[in-house]
Structure 1
Amino acid sequence: MRSIRALLQFCTTLPLGRAADFEAFARRSYLYPIAGYIIGGIAALLAFGIESPVLAAAVGLAAVLILSGANHFDGLLDFGDGLMAHGNREKRILAMTDRNTGAGAVAAGLVVTLVAFAGLQTAAPVWATILIAEVSAKLAMAWLTVLGRPFREGIHSYLHGFARPSFLIYAAALALPLLLLPVPPAVPGMAVAVTGAVVVGMLALSQNIFGGVNGDVVGAAHEITRAAVILVLALL
Structure 2
Amino acid sequence: MEDDSYFEDEEFSIMRSLLGLLTFSTILPINVYTSIEYMTKLTWCWPFLHIFVGILAAICGYVSLEFLHLNVFFTAVIVYAFLMLITGYNHLDGVMDMSDGVMVHGDAERKISVMKDSSVGAGGVASLFLVASLTIAGLNNLLDYNLILGIVVCEMAAKTSLITTALLSKPLNPGIGSYFIKETNATKYLISTVLVGAIAFLLCGFVGIIGVLGAIVGGSIIAKIAKRNFVYANGDVLGMSNEVGRLFALLFMVIALFFV
After TM superposition, the score normalised by the length of structure 2 is 0.84
Matched, 1:140 2:161: yes
Select which of 163, 174, 180 maps to 2:202. Answer: 180
Select which of 212, 216, 219 maps to 1:196. Answer: 216
1:158-200 residue CA offsets vs partner (Å, 9 max, x unmatched): 223333321111211331222222x3x2211111211221122
Bigger-Rg structure (1/2): 2
> For the residues of structure 2 that align with 1:180 and 1:11, how far apart are their CA atoms?
25
Select which of 125, 129, 146 maps to 1:110. Answer: 129
Once the 2 structures are TM-superposed, how far is the Cα of residue 148 of structure 1 from its aligned partner?
1.4
1:100 corresponds to: 119
Matched, 1:213 2:233: yes
> For the residues of structure 1 that align with 2:78 and 2:148, how far apart are their CA atoms?
10
Aligned residue pairs total 234
Matched, 1:232 2:246: no
Once the 2 structures are TM-superposed, how far is the Cα of residue 18 of structure 1 from its aligned partner?
4.2
Once the 2 structures are TM-superposed, how far is the Cα of residue 11 of structure 1 from its aligned partner?
0.8
* Conserved 8 A contact 1:146-1:167: no
> For the residues of structure 1 that align with 2:147 and 2:21, how far apart are their CA atoms?
26
2:77 maps to amino acid: A
1:121-146 residue CA offsets vs partner (Å, 9 max, x unmatched): 11123532221111110111222223
Percent sequence identity is 27
Q: Which runs of 4+ in 1 moved over 6 A?
A: none
Which 5+ residue runs of structure 2 have no aligned equivalent? 1-14, 66-70
> What is the DSSP-based 3-state SS (H/G/I as helix, E as strand, rest coil) of the residue aligned with 2:64?
coil
Any residues of structure 2 matched to 1:31-110 within 5 Å, and which? 31-51=45-65, 52-110=71-129
> What is the DSSP-based 3-state SS (H/G/I as helix, E as strand, rest coil) of the residue aligned with 1:31?
helix
Structure 1 stretch displaced more, 218-227 or 46-55: 46-55
> For the residues of structure 1 that align with 2:151 and 2:91, how far apart are their CA atoms?
16
> For the residues of structure 2 that align with 1:203 and 1:117, how far apart are their CA atoms?
24
Once the 2 structures are TM-superposed, how far is the Cα of residue 7 of structure 1 from its aligned partner?
1.0
* Conserved 8 A contact 2:54-2:152: yes
> What is the DSSP-based 3-state SS (H/G/I as helix, E as strand, rest coil) of the residue aligned with 2:149?
helix
> What is the DSSP-based 3-state SS (H/G/I as helix, E as strand, rest coil) of the residue aligned with 1:127?
coil
Which 5+ residue runs of structure 1 have no aligned equivalent? none
Matched, 1:13 2:33: no
Q: Which has the higher contact order (CA 8 A, sep 6+)?
A: 1
> For the residues of structure 1 that align with 2:248 and 2:90, how far apart are their CA atoms?
19
> For the residues of structure 2 that align with 1:223 and 1:231, how far apart are their CA atoms?
13
> What is the DSSP-based 3-state SS (H/G/I as helix, E as strand, rest coil) of the residue aligned with 2:171?
coil
> For the residues of structure 2 that align with 1:16 and 1:37, how far apart are their CA atoms?
16
> For the residues of structure 1 that align with 2:137 and 2:182, how far apart are their CA atoms?
38
Q: Structure 1 residues 121, 3: CA separation in 2 closer, same or farther (over 3 Å shift)?
A: same
